[in-house]
Structures are given as C-alpha cells and as structure tokens.
Chains A and B, each alone.
Chain A
Amino acid sequence: MKIIACIKRVIDYNVRVQINREGNGVVTDGVKMSMNPFDEIAIEEGLRLKEKGIADELIVVSIGGSDSQQQLRTALAMGADRAILIENTDDLVPLGAAKLLLKVIEKEQPGLVILGKQAIDDDRNQTGQMLAALWNRPQATFASEIVVEGDTATVTREVDAGMETIEIDLPAVITTDLRLNEPRFVKMPDIMKAKKKPLDVIAADSLGADSAPAVGTSDYSPPPTRESGVIVESVDDLVNALKARGLV
C-alpha cells in the first residue's frame, strides 16, 4: 500500500506572530518557518505503518512556494521515500488545497492519505474533510490511534465527549491529533540521504484544478489588549469597585 502524507510550511509555533504595518497580513520577513506540527505527526504515523510492513511507500506532498522544499527535505530525512511539491504562491483556501491534492491522489492512487487535523497558521481544520468529500472516500478526523488490518482501518478519534472508535474502509483520509504519536528526531546521516531522494516539482496551474479562493480576508487586527487589573484590599472594596463600574 502507498501512503500519502500532506504537509504545510507555516510560521514556527515558537514565533510571536505580528500583524504587518499595512494590516493586510502577518510579518514573515526574517521569521522562522517550520513544518506544521500536526503534519509531522502525519509523517511519523506513515513511517510507523511502513515499519510495520503495512505500507511499502510513503510519499509527502506539499503545496506552496519553492521554500517549502525545505520542509519536504525534512520529511524525506525523517524517512519518507519521495516528495512532491505543488508549486503555488497564489492565495489558497482549504477547498483549493483539497482540489489540488486530489489531482495528485488520483494519479498516485494511495491506500491512505494522512494530514494534520489543522495548520497552526490559520487553524481552519477543513482540508482533510474537504479532500475526503471530493475524493468520495471515508474520513476519520482527529485520530489518536490508527490500526490498519487488511482493507479497513480502526481509528480512535478525540471528540468533545471523549474517545470514539470507528472503522473505515480504505482508501480513506485520516487527520491527526496531537496524541497520535511523538515524531522522531531527524538524524544527521539521514539528512544527507534525503538530499538524494526524489523531489518532484509540479506547477499548480498545470494540474487543471480550479483552486482560486471563493472567500478572501479583508483585514487583520490584533486582539484588544487587556486592561491592567486593580488589587482590592477587602470584600467591601470589591463591592464598591464593581458598583462604581455599574456591574452590580
């Protein structure tokens, strides 16, 4: 079985994100970029399924500018077999991303597609679901455990009420949650090996998918800053302070 893991290059989770001076985006100049952490978990799960002998090839796919090759190389160093970059620098929303990924999936015919449940830059949590719908295959989102046997996968999902276990037919789309696994460290000799693994670059507009966004973002603003608190001496002071503000 072939597995495809999809990854996105995002602003690193340690970075304090700042809105640019024009208010129409966030600052990326000189800012550290990394692989979306949920996608790292997707790759790790793909590798574990390969190590168990369930999969025989792990392909990583990303959509983005040529910089995204850096994250794809990291995925190859973790152990993926080959990488595909769908090169695109235009604005993209989850539906557009799902349409582009579908084109690659139709060509590669994987038995399983694993994605992060969401990307930490826009936190949309939609691409996996949309992809399953477009592909017309089952989906299991927010996975914290995956067991593959024959043509089915038993997936434990993290839902609001606790855990839910479902069985789905393969091929299918699974999105990862934080507890699924802990991604491995990249080893130095593997970084060298990764430099020689195949990485194909495909222009997004050559795929024939209509990926133009139907929604846009008009402006960005930071959340309002919290006013500093006051320390009150006694309950009476508290009541008086609340009264003064007309709150009781």
Chain B
Amino acid sequence: MIERDVMEYDLVVVGAGPAGLATAIRYKQLNPEDSVCILEKASEIGAQILSGAVMEPKLLDTLLPEWRDNKPAICVEARKDRFAYLTKNKSIRLPTPPQQKNHGNFIVSLGSLCHWMGTKAEELEIDVFPGFSAADALFNEQNEVIGVRCGDMGVAKDGTEGPGYAPGVDIHAKFTVLSEGCRGSISKQLIKKYALDAGKSPQTYGLGFKELWQLPAGRTTAGNIQHTIGWPLDSATYGGSYMYQLDQDRLSIGFVTGLDYADPDFSPFEAFQQFKHHPQIKALLDGGEILSSGARTIIEGGLQSLPKQDMPGALLVGDSAGTINVVKIKGIHMAMGSGVLAAEHLSETKTTEGYDAKWRASNLNTELHKIRNIRPGFTKGLWRGLITAAIETVTFGKLPRTLENHSDHDSLNKLDGYQSPDYKWVDRDLPPRDRLASVYFASNEHDEDQPIHLKVTDTDLCVTKCTEEYGNPCTRFCPAGVYEIVEEEGNKRLQINSANCVHCKACDIKDPYQQINWVTPEGGSGPNYQNL
C-alpha cells in the first residue's frame, strides 16, 4: 500500500477557471473561518485556460469590484460588432444578431484574468495549488464524494516509481466542487456514476482554436469585434470564426467547429487555417507574427443536455456541467454565476443537496432557456439553423418546443461509398505551417518519462476496424497531431505523441468507438499559454 498524506479542508475546488475561482472566492468571502483549497493542473493559474474572450462583466463586478481599477494584462472595452457571411472570396455583412451585441462588455484574456483572480484568492487565504491535478474522486462507504486524490508525481513511462516519485495527496473535504471546464475527467466519471445525465439529451461539443497575433502597426482598432459564418465550412457543418482586436496592435483570432461534423476526412485545424487565408483576413494578418496559440473544446448542449448538478458530497459548476450560453459563445459570466450560486448554496444549507433545483430556479436557467433551440436548429445545416435562430430570437424562446441534441461520436459517415465534399481549399502560406508548428506556440511541456495520459482501450481496433470504417479520424481531429498511424516492417500501429497534447479533450469526445479516455498527466504538464 502506498502511504499518502491526507489534507483536510472544508471545501476543495477542482480547476481554477472562472467557475472554480468564483466558487472559492465567494465561499471564503461568506465563510472566512472555513478552509478552502483550489487544485489546478496547469503549472500556473490561467496557463491552460483558452477562451475568446468577450466577457459580460456584471458578475465580476459583484464578486471582485476592484477588478476595474486593476485590469489584467489584456482588457479592452468592446466597440463595434460586425457579423458577416463569408464566401471563398467575399465577405457579406449580415445584421448583427441581438445575442452578439457587445456594448458594455470587455475583451479579455481569460487566462490572465484567472491569473489575477488567483492572486485575489490567495489574498483571501485560500490555498491555491497550481501544478497539482486531481486524478480521481474519493468516496466513503455510503457512496458519497469525500474529496479527491491528487495525481502522483515522478511515475516513469512504464508505470514504475521513478527516482523522484511522490505519491499524490488525498484531500478530504466536506464539499467537493468540480470546475474542470468542458469534458472534465473527474466530472465525466461522476456524471456516469450518479447517472446525472439520466433523461437528458446527449451532450454535444465544438472544438475551438485560438491564436494571438502581433500585427504591423495601425491595422486594428482596439475593441472591434467580428464574427463570421460560412466559408471555409460547407453549409452542413456548424461553426464560425471570431476576431477580437486588442490594444498594442494585437489580435485574437479563432475558429470553432461543431464536433458533430460528418465528414471523416475533415480536419478542424485545416478549416481554421483556411479561414485565415480568406482575402479579407489574410490582408490583416500578412506580415504579423503569432505570439501564442492553442485549442480547447466547448460544451454546446445547453439546457437540454445539462446534467443534474448536485450529488452526495459534490457539485458540478460551470462548463464541467455545461452552463455556457452557446449562442452568444459566452460562458465566463455563466461559469462565474454558477460558482457564486454554488458557494451561496453551500454556505446557507451546509449540504450539496438542492443545488440543482436552486440553479434551475435562477436567472442563469432563464438565460439558457431562451436560447435552448438555437444550437440544435443547426444540425439540419446552416440555413435551417439561421431560420430557427431568427424564430427563437424574435419569440424570446417562448415557443413551447425543445429541440433535441445528438451525440458527436456517432455523427461521422463511414468511408464506405462516402464522398468527402470538395472544400476548394487554397494553398497556405501564413504560419503555422502545420499542427506541430502550431503546438510550438502553446509552449507545451510534458516530461517524456511519464505514462501516456491518453488511454486507448484496444489499439488493434485502430489499425483494423477504424482504418477500414473511418480512416483513423483521430489523426485529423486532434489539433496537436498527437495520434499517428505508423508503419514498421509492414505492420501498422497507433503512435500517441502524448507530449504534444494541449488538453483540448476532443479525442475523448469525437472518437467514434469511444475508446479514448483522457486522464490527467503529471501535475504541471501541458500547455503554458500566455494571454489566451
């Protein structure tokens, strides 16, 4: 038996994103005497956060009003909104949908905002532990969650104890709050164990890319915002771009594709790079340089797919559950909102029970109810989706109907007789050349001598059934080129370049056989995003 240290807390929070930080900070504001800790798998708070991000400030204003006097590294007021439909060479302006209007909002780097919130948490004497991942939940005999086990450090690649081996600590707490963001690895286990998704629509996701650019002087106006739909995606695929102009000639540019795409040959990375070569966008980027880049999935199921958010001893908050308002692509205020609500619920009732009911009676629920039909409307293609969006918007979502979601892993067409659409993609010359060049801008760091953290159950299936049926889509959907099929002496096998993984979780979601399980690597491993 490995001997583990045990640490006792009143509240343990897993994941220092906006949801987790808001939970811990609000809880400590209300209960200064209670002990609170936050675990974060990134080497620094904010280093594995990737978001657009246009933020609605009202929640941060109530939680930490001093933030306006002490703004994070990237923070500009939103100005003009532009919404456009792209064809291969043209950009056609569309009326900005009301959900996309951003007056009063701020363009931030969520990573640097979380970093700042982390320092505020420390000032409140919350124990903030960057570089420590929560690997598993802990249960008592009554099957209640009683805390989490941190990942071991210094385990060698073959699973044996390396020279610096340090077993992970067990954290026991009265309340455990999971705020791991989209597709959390412990949240996933708990949703299954407690059947929190019983009776809900299947969950659905998108994969978002982001690059931060330094442009030649004078091309941008700080605060200008553009969203596009259309090219390079065909009308059957859900997705679009965002472009936020920052100060100091910097630009946040990114692209989101629905992971319910059907073409097994499709590469979301390539779609983003193609978008950058649209004449309007390329003119903006030419001569600039990339400062950092990365990718992260977005949870898009909305209210239909939102699991029950409480279980004995633990809560799900933010995108661990899926509270994002996907139509606005705004999850930050919703994540903070659920964190604050969770903290208030725990302080008042001293139990996790009843939190889900409280959430559903709150205005957070109302916000998601209004827009519940818009994302599922797009499963029938772009044009049907836009019509649904228009109807749902003018009726404020009051029509007595709820469209269902469907899961992403079974949306791929089989190769058999399937003809991939001709995307008419262009030759590219803007950086990054390929996915490896892109990972370079994520400042990724995984000690090579550690077990592979992408657990594939049956690797034989990869080179037989999957090659035949889908042509190994993991080699295309992974934004970091982690999966490769290599041939040695006539034998094919799956090679997992796990050190490149940027923790986006797309493989865990999209693999058609659902046999990839993303688990936490050694604490502190993974991307070190700057200002994403």
Q: How far is the CB of B456 from chain A (nearest CB, A)?
A: 27
> Is B163's CB under 8 angstroms from A182's CB?
yes
B291 at the interface (CB under 8 A from A): yes
> Is A184's CB under 8 angstroms from B44's CB?
no
Cβ–Cβ < 8 Å partners of B47 in chain A: 32
Cβ–Cβ < 8 Å partners of B112 in chain A: 30
B30 at the interface (CB under 8 A from A): no
Q: How far is the CA of A183 from the CA of B291 in the complex (A)?
A: 31
Q: How far is the CB of A9 from chain B (nearest CB, A)?
A: 13
> Is A189's CB under 8 angstroms from B169's CB?
yes
> A32: which of B43, B129, B153, B166 is its contact (CB, 8 Å)?
B43
B394 at the interface (CB under 8 A from A): no
Cβ–Cβ < 8 Å partners of A18 in chain B: 214, 291
Cβ–Cβ < 8 Å partners of A185 in chain B: 153-154, 164, 166
> A15: which of B111, B115, B153, B443 is its contact (CB, 8 Å)?
B443
A236 at the interface (CB under 8 A from B): no
Q: A14-B443, A188-B129 are in contact. Are A21 and B248 (CB under 8 A)?
A: yes
A159 at the interface (CB under 8 A from B): no
Q: How far is the CA of A159 from the CA of B73 in the complex (A)?
A: 43
Q: How far is the CB of A21 from chain B (nearest CB, A)?
A: 7
A107 at the interface (CB under 8 A from B): no
A243 at the interface (CB under 8 A from B): no
Q: How far is the CA of A188 from the CA of B132 in the complex (A)?
A: 8
Give the nearest-CB partner of A34 in chain B. Answer: B43
Q: How far is the CA of A188 from the CA of B44 in the complex (A)?
A: 15
A133 at the interface (CB under 8 A from B): no
B5 at the interface (CB under 8 A from A): yes
B7 at the interface (CB under 8 A from A): yes
1/0 per position for A184-199, CB-CB distance to B under 8 A?
A: 1111110110000000
Give the nearest-CB partner of B440 in chain A. Answer: A16
A51 at the interface (CB under 8 A from B): no
Q: How far is the CB of A137 from chain B (nearest CB, A)?
A: 32
Cβ–Cβ < 8 Å partners of B44 in chain A: 32
Q: How far is the CA of A18 from the CA of B528 in the complex (A)?
A: 15
> Is A32's CB under 8 angstroms from B530's CB?
yes
A-B contact count (CB 8 A): 58
> Is A14's CB under 8 angstroms from B127's CB?
no
Chain B, interface size category, equals: 35 or more
- Number of residues of chain A lying within 8 A (CB) of chain B: 20
> Is B531's CB under 8 angstroms from A30's CB?
yes
Give the nearest-CB partner of B166 in chain A. Answer: A185
A145 at the interface (CB under 8 A from B): no
B109 at the interface (CB under 8 A from A): yes
Cβ–Cβ < 8 Å partners of A239 in chain B: none
B441 at the interface (CB under 8 A from A): yes
> A29: which of B73, B440, B443 is its contact (CB, 8 Å)?
B73
B63 at the interface (CB under 8 A from A): no
Cβ–Cβ < 8 Å partners of B7 in chain A: 188-189, 192
Q: How far is the CA of A185 from the CA of B43 in the complex (A)?
A: 12
Q: Which residues of B in the span 92-144 have a Cβ within 8 Å of any Cβ on A? A: 109, 111-112, 115, 127, 129, 131-132
Q: A30-B73, A31-B530, A182-B163 are in contact. Are A188 and B169 (CB under 8 A)?
A: yes
> Is A15's CB under 8 angstroms from B164's CB?
no
A12 at the interface (CB under 8 A from B): yes
Cβ–Cβ < 8 Å partners of B131 in chain A: 186
> Is B129's CB under 8 angstroms from A16's CB?
no
Give the nearest-CB partner of B37 in chain A. Answer: A188
1/0 per position for A30-69, CB-CB distance to B under 8 A?
A: 1110000000000000000000000000000000000000
Cβ–Cβ < 8 Å partners of B111 in chain A: 30
Cβ–Cβ < 8 Å partners of A30 in chain B: 72-74, 109, 111-112, 115, 530-531
Q: A21-B248, A30-B73, A30-B112 are in contact. Are A12 and B528 (CB under 8 A)?
A: yes
Q: How far is the CB of A193 from chain B (nearest CB, A)?
A: 11
> Is A14's CB under 8 angstroms from B163's CB?
no
Q: How far is the CA of A147 from the CA of B127 in the complex (A)?
A: 38
Cβ–Cβ < 8 Å partners of B129 in chain A: 188, 191
Cβ–Cβ < 8 Å partners of A183 in chain B: 164
Cβ–Cβ < 8 Å partners of A188 in chain B: 5, 7, 129, 132, 150, 169
Give the nearest-CB partner of B289 in chain A. Answer: A18
Q: How far is the CB of B520 from chain A (nearest CB, A)?
A: 15
Other than the given A14-B528, A182-B163, A188-B5, 12 more pairs (CB < 8 A) read A12-B43, A15-B528, A16-B440, A21-B248, A30-B74, A30-B111, A30-B115, A31-B530, A32-B44, A183-B164, A188-B7, A192-B7
Residues of B with Cβ closer than 8 Å to A? 5, 7, 43-44, 47, 72-74, 109, 111-112, 115, 127, 129, 131-132, 150, 153-154, 163-164, 166, 169, 214, 248, 291-292, 440-441, 443-445, 528, 530-531
Which 10 pairs show the lowest CB-CB distances between chains A and B? A30-B73, A185-B153, A14-B443, A30-B531, A185-B166, A188-B169, A30-B112, A14-B445, A14-B528, A29-B73
17 A-B pairs within 8 Å (CB atoms) are namely: A12-B43, A14-B445, A15-B443, A15-B530, A16-B440, A16-B443, A18-B291, A21-B248, A30-B73, A30-B530, A30-B531, A32-B528, A32-B530, A185-B153, A186-B131, A189-B169, A192-B7
